[in-house]
Amino acid sequence: MQIAMRREQICLHEHPRNIPRPTMTPPITLQQLGWDDGFADDFEQFEYLGMQPARVIIAHNNYFTLLDGEREWLATPAGRLRLNAKRISSLPVVGDWVAMKPRKGEEDRATVHAVLPRRTKFSRRSPERPADEQVISANIDTALIVSDLVTDFNVRRLERYLALAHESGAKPVVLLTKLDLSEDVEEMLEELAPVARDAPVHVISNVTGEGVDLVRQYLGPGQTAVLLGSSGVGKSTLINSLMGRERMNTAETRDDGRGRHTTTHRELVILENGGMIIDNPGMRELGLWDSNAGIRDSFNDIAALAAKCRFSDCSHQSEPGCAVKQAVEEGTLDEERFDNFHKLISERASLDTAREMQARLEKTPGRPQPNRSSRPTMRKKKKS
């Protein structure tokens, strides 16, 4: 589909109360949103049912804002989709491609009937349901991990973000912001190098613009990146810098470098060059999900050492002939890095146990099955 989107077609309808309005987008085609032959093949079964492909650009509780290469739609999931979704992770998230159908008699409203297979996804362990997966965003090419050099720099946290990024299937890139306020950049880069390993690291300033152009190489036409990091590190300000204008009002930064702006919803923002970037609220909890590959790729130096251990099932604690412990003792492997590795391994084992217990409970005959596809909703206040 090569139908160009006109600016005047965007954001015409009135949203229900409290549903975020999308950022104004430039004219764009379905292909510029990332659509290709692979997605077209996945969609073919729905085309015969009179449905249309669209991409989710905002997810807000049970409402989704979609773009279909021609116009914007406000959609909700079909009852059958919700009923058949075994987990909340099966429902649409920002970045998903979906099969949708316009509603008759309701202008700019649509129903989502299916989510197309995801090529990549950024997931974490659900804070509310520890045995469940929470998908943050989907079909992403690059994970931009953002930390500032003043108040947020934490190598161990960046290590965890890198494991999550590797797990997603996207390319991890580390962005260190607030260069204009930091005096110890070289020291921090030296500390980060053994952790980042093959992941590119860029130092930028949203105030002076230094380094911002380096980020554009990951945001070519049809490419999607996701911003990850704590609140106040400059994620939304970075989007403003990339757009060349203020997309949202970010409050003034205090003298100590702490930002005041907080993103409250996830949104896929389309840049003038056709690249796309997903803004996320800061995440306080970063529980790993299906993390075997993420841990292996993030700690491949430890994996290489483990291959030299005397025992193939070495836990790297007290076994004789442990190459990992030997490296720690000799100082060739940072002890804090090893401790964080062991912490993530233990966390993964705990998650595996929780998932096994949940699976056994769900198989118990006669036990009511929880509806895990439901999203939390606000309770309506009773009228006085």
CATH of the domain at 26: 2.40.50.140
Is the pTM of the predicted complex or chain greater than 0.95? no
Does one domain contain both 109 and 130?
Answer: no
Tell me: pLDDT of 14 over 80. Answer: no
Q: How far is CA 65 from CA 24, 33, 219, in A?
A: 13, 14, 22
User: Could you read off the pLDDT of 204-262 as tens digits, one per residue?
Assistant: 998 888 999 999 999 999 999 999 888 777 788 899 888 876 665 444 444 444 444 45
Q: Please tell me the predicted confidence (pLDDT) of residue 43.
A: 97
Model confidence band, residue 157 (pLDDT cutoffs 50, 70, 90): confident
Model confidence band, residue 380 (pLDDT cutoffs 50, 70, 90): very low
Does one domain contain both 62 and 177?
Answer: no
Does one domain contain both 41 and 156?
Answer: no
Query: Of 77, 99, 115, at which residue does a domain stop?
Result: 115
What is d(CA 110, CA 286) in angstroms, rounded to the nearest whole number?
33
Does one domain contain both 263 and 326?
Answer: no
Does one domain contain both 149 and 231?
Answer: yes
Higher pLDDT, 198 or 139: 139
Does one domain contain both 106 and 141?
Answer: no
Does one domain contain both 171 and 257?
Answer: yes
Query: Of 82, 115, 148, at which residue does a domain stop?
Result: 115
| Count of helices and strands (H, E) across the chain | 10, 13
The number of distinct structural domains making up the chain is: 3
Q: Please tell me the predicted confidence (pLDDT) of residue 291.
A: 54
Structural domain range at position 248: 121-279
Q: Which is nearest to 358 in space by CA: 347, 369, 348?
A: 369
Q: Are 261 and 232 in contact (CB under 8 A)?
A: yes
Does one domain contain both 185 and 262?
Answer: yes
CATH of the domain at 132: 3.40.50.300
Does one domain contain both 225 and 80?
Answer: no
Does one domain contain both 83 and 188?
Answer: no
Does one domain contain both 54 and 150?
Answer: no
Does one domain contain both 214 and 173?
Answer: yes
CATH of the domain at 338: 1.10.40.50
Q: Bridge partners of 66? A: 56, 73
Q: Are 298 and 166 in contact (CB under 8 A)?
A: yes
User: Could you read off the pLDDT of 78-128 as tens digits, one per residue?
Assistant: 988 888 776 777 889 999 999 999 999 888 899 999 999 999 988 876 756
